[in-house]
Every structure is written in structure tokens, then in C-alpha cells.
Structure 1
Amino acid sequence: MTAQYSADFEKALQVGRPPNIQQLFPNSKALIVSGKVIDRAMLAKGKAIAMAANGRNYFVVRGVLQAAQRANCPVIIEIAKSEGGQKAYCAVNYWNMARIVDALCNELGITVPVAIHADHYGIKGDKDLAAAKVEIPTMFEAGITSIAIDASHLPDDQNLLANLAINPFIPKWAGLETEVGEIKGNQGLSTVDEAKFLIQGLNAYEIFPDWIALNNGTTHGLEASDAGIQVGLTAEIHHALMPYKVNGAQHGTSGNSSERLREIAGKTATTKANVATALQMISWGLEVNDYGNAQLDAAGNFIKVPGEGMSEELWAEMVAYATEKGWKKGDYKNLNLPFENKLLAQPREIRERMAARVEAFAYKMMTEVLNAADTAPLALAAILNANSADVGPKGSLLEDPAYWTKEHILERAKQLAGDKGPSGNFDD
């Protein structure tokens, strides 16, 4: 594909790529940007949400980039710690994702801005916190441009303190997401007070997250019920956070209908929506419904669509492997790592149809559900207006730091009455 490079694109390429990207890819034509840029583009359009695609395999990344180019919208390519950290179940990881994206953008002539997001960087205690101070810099050295610090399973005071402790290791120009409430369906739902506690405490230290993720009723992975996202709760929390200018990151979209996601776009301050399981299943060639959930036959097995996704022979091999391991349907995500090279070793026509199937689904979602079409020029405008890769914070200091010392944080947290519910499945 021969790309057409506009003057605005060329200028954005010069000034809009963060320093780590410039160093890694000095001769690249890929406009890899901070996650902040993507958020600002959605804000500029209004009631628009950027797709944040979990690139569990090469074909998902390729298909989503092609869809974003067609839709003329910026996009976030991400991987979570469980998917692409040190104990990864995917071949795409924190340290090679930027290289894969950069290569594909140059090969395919992708001119829309792309952010490289480290999703769900989990911190479960002091040991994780100490390790994070070593690991997070290596991730930015490898091309990460945005990160989600997820200490959501910890008590509220420890969640805030973990976010404060790790922030010096995150570049100021990078996109920043924080999280309150584990993602675990309708149990332990986030409250206004919990969300305000986290955002106000960060604000007092002049930390202004671009996004906050909530437990607003959704789940990760295969969604068995239609309960899904609670739009009213989400809107209420976002409204309470308006003075702090933080937007929403919606997790677990694969379990929610297009209608509900349109409602999220229209009625809340959400500008980022994570899509993981659906894209994996689609790339493989499985039958999915509007929710992005893989369908099961009468015997409870996934339905492989003939002539779509991977070859029937390779799918049979994957099923046999999972059966031998005793894996249930929710465990099929673990097939990504052992089978990535086998997927890449298929004939070109099969590889292309895998990516094309992802592209078709992602394009429809970007344009008809998330309202993100034609937001790429708005992302370029954010870069050009700043004349920098750092578009700056949205928020400003509102809280008095004197009231947010560690002692104050521990005391304030005692006043929070939220029900955290049972432990969630943190690792998806």
C-alpha cells in the first residue's frame, strides 16, 4: 500500500512522536503517539470512544490497524500484564508490541495515530510495587506510550498509595489510566466516593490521569449473562469527577451489545473501550454474536466457521491441545502463546483472511458503535497545537496537598463505605 502523507501528518511525525519512539524508530513513518493524544481526539469530537484493542496475536494487531486507517480514526493497541507480561499467555508482549505496530504501520501505510498501551499493569502488594519500579522503565524503553496502573484489588488507601509510589517511573508525556474496583460483574460495584477518593488523592500530588476504569458491572472474557455495563452508575461517577477532567476507560466490552456501548458513548465521559476476547475469537474464525461473544453449539463447543479464520486442520489441533490440557472454554486464551508461530506459518491467503475478519468487525465497531470515525485529524490537531509529543494534562491542581498526606489518606479511607464484594478474576 502506498501511503499519502499530508503536510499535517509530516509535521506531526516530526514533533508528535515521544522520545522513546524517536529513539527506537528514527527512520519510521509510523505516527506512534502518547495515549493522551487519542483521548484528546475523542474529547474534541464528543461522545466518541477510541478502540483499545488487546493485540493477543499478530492478526488482531494487523486487522485493527487496517480498520483504523479505513475509519480515519486513531487507535490504541494494548496488552495486559497477564497477556503480555513476564508470565504471558500471548506472544505479543510489553516489549515487542511497539515493534510489531511500527513494522505494520510502515508496511501498510498506516497514517492514523496509534498509541501503545500497557493495560492492567497489576500491583497486588509491596513485592509487585518494588518489581514495578524496575520493570516499568524497561517497558517504556521498549516503546510503550501509555499505561494503566491497576491496584484496584487493594483497599482504597493502598490503591492510592501504590499509584503515588509508582508515578515517578512513568514519563509525564505518557497516557495514564488508573482503576478503582476490580472488574468482576455486578459484585463490589464502584462508588462515587471511592472514585473521588482516588482521583482527588492523585490530584493533590499533581497527578492527572487521562482515564479511570471502574467496576461498573462488566466482566472480562466470555460473558455468560446480559447484565453488563451499568450505564447510569458510570454516568453518575463520571459526572462527579468532572472538575478533575478525567475520562472513562471501559473494560470488558466483549460482553456487551452494540446498543449498550452506544449508550456508554452517548451518556458517559468514556473515551477508551477495551476489546480483547472478541477480537481473538474473530481472528481464529469462530462464530460470534453482536456482543462479540463466541457462540457454542448444542454440545457446548465453539463453532468454527468453515473457510474463515485459521485452517480447519489447525483449529482441530488447537481443540485437541486444549482438551488434552483439560481446559474449559475460558481457558482457550492460553492457546495464543503455543500456537502463534503455527498461525504465522499458514499460507498467505489464510493469514490475510484472519486479519480481514478482524478488520471488518473492528471497522464496524469504530464507525457504527463507538462514533470514532474521522477523528484522526483531531488527533493531529492536538499534536500540532501543542507542537510537542506531550499535549499536557487536562486537569489542574484542585486539592490541598496538606490534607492528603499518608496519614490523612489512611484516615480518610476509613470513611469509605463501599462493598468490595468477593475477589475478582484479576488476571484477564
Structure 2
Amino acid sequence: MTDFERALKVGRTPNVAKLFPNSKALIVSGKFIDLAMLQKGNAICMAANGRNHFVLRGVLKAAQRANSALIIEIARSESTYCAVNFWNIARQVDAVCNELGITIPVAIHADHYGIKKDADIGPAKVEIPTMLDAGITSIAIDASHMPDDHNLLASIEIIRNAVPAWVGLETEVGEIKGKEGLSTAEEALFLIQGLNAHGIFPNWIALNNGTTHGIEVSGQGIQVELTAEIHAALEKYNVSGAQHGTSGNSSDRLREIARLTRTTKANVATALQMISWGLEVNDYGNAILTDDGEFIKVRGEGMTEEAWMEMVAYAADKGWSGGNYKKLNLPFENRLLGQPAEVRERMVSRVEEFACNMMINVFNSQDTADILTDAILKADTYDPGPKATRIEDPGEWTPEKIAARARSVCSDKGPEGDFDD
């Protein structure tokens, strides 16, 4: 039996093994992804938002070339405007892996599972298990829209009741709002200490560290020093960073995040969508706009020119522009899948080339597939266990004391608005 076959036998999570009993796809817990990046050092795993089928295929082919572990994810908000969603993403990934002979390990991440009010907690405890039934192996419980004490209490309630211990876990403090409402070490410590007291040890914490979701033409972008400062404050809790909103950040800045912080996961969403469509982008995948704010379609790349003109007309009719072009994913998935084979393949290949370059030359994640597979074989299980221990006193983190502590936390959540992916 080869190492890969042994890893398949013991490393696939129980939900995946049940759902795909005859599969040759190495779909693993997100916990192993984090550990592999830490073991390599200064390495970040691409968390590719699979907004369409072409992105899924392209990033899987790229990871195979780079011999890189990979996260494929979809956010809760994306499930409302993409054909890919929490309940079919694992099925698509599994099918493509088996079709193409993909052997690198992949985690399936439910990103930004948003909790915006206390009334969302009950439904979440019902819905999250159905997502796990559909093959999700990692999740971000994102209650950052709420005040700090509600964020912590909601996270505890949901994780305790709906998230098994083997699932990769991400938590979040501060919505991604660019330069507004920047996260602080005090806020991050409050959340991580409170979770720790209740025996919850996240793999990742996401911050508002100066970046944005979607298309970003200008702005400071990721504040590397702030990120490093917060990660240093959290060091004894052994939590890694999840970088959201890579759009608008140069490759050099992303390399700095890998080199100077404890970040092991970076979301790449809008860039991959635009690249698959055949739009003109800069070196880190941000779409280039004309002076009139229009996208530039590269002739002979991505979708056909006819399909692009249909999309532009549809968007104009709906009053969509800029970042709202993301809403075209759902109504046009079938149209794009219905193009000739050579067109579909060039859409996939464009994603593959971009993603492979980013994995090797920006995120430094090449050859982490072998590190992860070795870790599975050494652990001889699908769950490597927690990477932290409880060091906080649960008696100091009761609901009443959490509310009292929160009142002393200096926090600026920034302006109200729609800041979803």
C-alpha cells in the first residue's frame, strides 16, 4: 500500500468517508492544513473561493502542479449569488479530484458562516450539521458583526453544539472594512481567551487588518505591522492567522504577511473569478478598470466574447457594476458551462497558471502536500487533535463576567454597511 493509499484510508474525515466511500480524493480536516503550513514555516495555504466550476478545476490542477495542500471554500453570502454552495462544493471537488487524478490533500471550508444577531444562533445549530453531512471539513464561525461579548457567547454556543472537534475552525474579530474599524490586540485576546476558557481552540483568527473584500483600486491594504502585533499577543494560545480580502494587495505585501506574521490561510476570491472570465488583471489578480470604471475583456482568453457581452448587458439591465459583477455567477453558470470544450479549458488554464504562480512564488506553499500526508500517516487518524491547551480559568469567563469584561474592551467596529465577501 502506498503512502497516498494509507493516507486515504485513515486521513479522510468521517463525513467524507461516509459520503464518498469509493473516492480517491484526499479530502481532509482544515486542522491538518494549518499544521502543514506551520511545519514548513512562512507558508500560507491558498483558500480559493470556488465561485464557479472553472475556478474549482483550475486551483486543483494548480495545487497538483505545485504539490501544495489546498483549501477550497465558499462563503455563506457567496452561496446566494453562486451556483456553488455549502451543500454541493464538496461533491464538485470530489468529482474533479477523481476525474483528474488529483492526489494533493484538500480541505473544504465553509467561510464566513455569518451570525449577525442572537436569533441566528438556533438556526445555525440546525444548519451546520447539514453542511457537514454534505462534506464540509472546516468552518469559519463569524459573529464579528455583533458586539464583542455577543460574538464570543454566540461562538461558544454554536461550536459546542454543532462543530465536531475534528473540524478545522476559524473565528473572527472585526469585519473586513479596509481602514475603518481596525482590529486591536485587546479585542483579539478577549475572543481567544474566552474561547480557550471554554475548551475551544481555533486554528485561525481573522482580523480587520486594513484590507477589503472584492475589487480594491486604492488604499493601504493589509497592515502587516498591526497583524504581526496581534499575532504576537496571541502567541501563547497557538492560533494562526487567516487573511481575508487579498484583492488590492500587491504580491510583495502578501509575501510580507507570509514572512512576518503567523498567517497560514489566505482567501483568494474575486481575483480567481475575474481571471476565469478572461478579464485583464494585474500581477496579483485585481481587475484593471478603464477610466470609466469598466472591465477590460482580453480577446481570446476566458469566456467567449459573445458570452461576455451577454453578461455585460445583463449587468447593465440589473444596474450592477464593479464588485457587484459577482452576482453574475449564478445566472451565467450554465451559460459558461455550455461553451465549447476549448473555451472551457482556457478558462480553467488561466486560473491554473495564476494560482500555481501564487502558491509557489507568493504563498510559499509548494511541497506542503507531502508534509501534510506525512502528518496524517504519523497521527494515523483524521484528527490531529487540538494545537493548544486550556490556560484560562472558565470560572472567570461566565456569561456575566464576559459581558462585564466586554464593557472595558476598547473597540471601534467602524461604519455600518454591507461588508460581506
- Match of 2:339, SS state, is coil
Task: State the SS of the aligned residue for 1:254.
Answer: coil
2:50 matches 1:55: yes
Aligned pair partner of 1:41 in 13, 36, 39: 36
1:50-101 Cα distance to aligned partner (Å, 9 max, x none): 00000000000000000000000110000000011xxx10000000000000
Pairing partner for 1:360 from 329, 353, 358: 353
Give ranges in structure 1 of 5+ residues lacking alignment. 1-5
Q: Is residue 179 of structure 2 the alignment partner of residue 182 of structure 1?
A: no
Residue 100 (structure 1) aligned with residue 95 (structure 2):
no
Aligned-pair CA distance for 1:424: 4.3
Question: Does the CA contact (< 8 Å) of 2:210 and 2:221 recur in 1?
Answer: yes
| Stretch deviating more after TM superposition (366-375 or 321-330) | 321-330
Per the alignment, residue 237 of structure 2 pairs with: 244
The 8 Å contact of residues 184 and 424 in structure 1, kept in 2 or not, is answered as: no
The residue type equivalent to 1:250 in the other structure is Q
Superposition pairs for residues 115-134 of structure 1, below 5 Å?
115-134=107-126
| Equivalent position of 1:391 in the other structure | 384
1:326 aligns with 2:314: no
Q: Does 1:374 align with 2:363?
A: no
The answer as to whether partners of 2:293 and 2:322 remain within 8 angstroms in 1 is no
Aligned position for 1:426: 419
Q: Distance in 2 between matches of 1:191 and 1:411?
A: 19
TM-score, normalised with respect to structure 2: 0.99
| Aligned counterparts of 1:131 and 1:106: Cα–Cα separation in 2 | 34
| TM-score normalized with structure 1 length | 0.97
Describe how 1:197-216 pairs up with structure 2 within 5 A.
Answer: 197-216=190-209
Query: What's the counterpart of residue 259 of structure 1?
Result: 252
Would the aligned equivalents of 2:280 and 2:296 in 1 still touch at CA under 8 Å? yes
Q: How many residues align?
A: 420
Structure 1 vs Structure 2: percent identity of aligned residues? 71
Cα distance in 1 for partners of 2:418, 2:362 equals: 27
1:183·1:425 contact (CA, 8 Å) conserved in 2? no
SS at structure 2 position matched to 1:76 = strand
User: Alpha-carbon deviation of 1:34?
Assistant: 0.4
Q: 2:22 aligns with which of 27, 35, 45?
A: 27
Q: Does structure 2 conserve the Cα–Cα contact (< 8 Å) formed by 1:83 and 1:89?
A: yes
Instruction: List, as ranges, runs of 4+ consecutive aligned residues in structure 1 with deviation greater than 3 Å.
Output: none
Counterparts of 2:121 and 2:344, CA distance in 1:
40
Give the gaps of 5 or more residues in structure 2.
none
Deviation at 1:157, TM superposition (A): 0.3
Deviation, structure 1 residue 423: 1.9
Aligned match of 1:345: 338
Alignment of 1:234 with 2:227, yes or no, is yes
Contact 1:51 1:76 in 2 (8 A): yes
1:57 touches 1:91 (CA, 8 Å); kept in 2? yes
- CA distance in 2: counterparts of 1:127 and 1:200, whole angstroms: 24
What is aligned with 1:282? 275
Q: Is this contact kept in 2: 1:133–1:169, CA < 8 A?
A: yes
| Residue 164 in structure 1 maps to residue 159 in structure 2 | no
CA deviation after TM superposition for structure 1 residue 255, in Å? 1.5
User: Greater CA deviation, 292-301 or 234-243?
Assistant: 292-301
* Pairwise CA distance, 1:425: 2.7
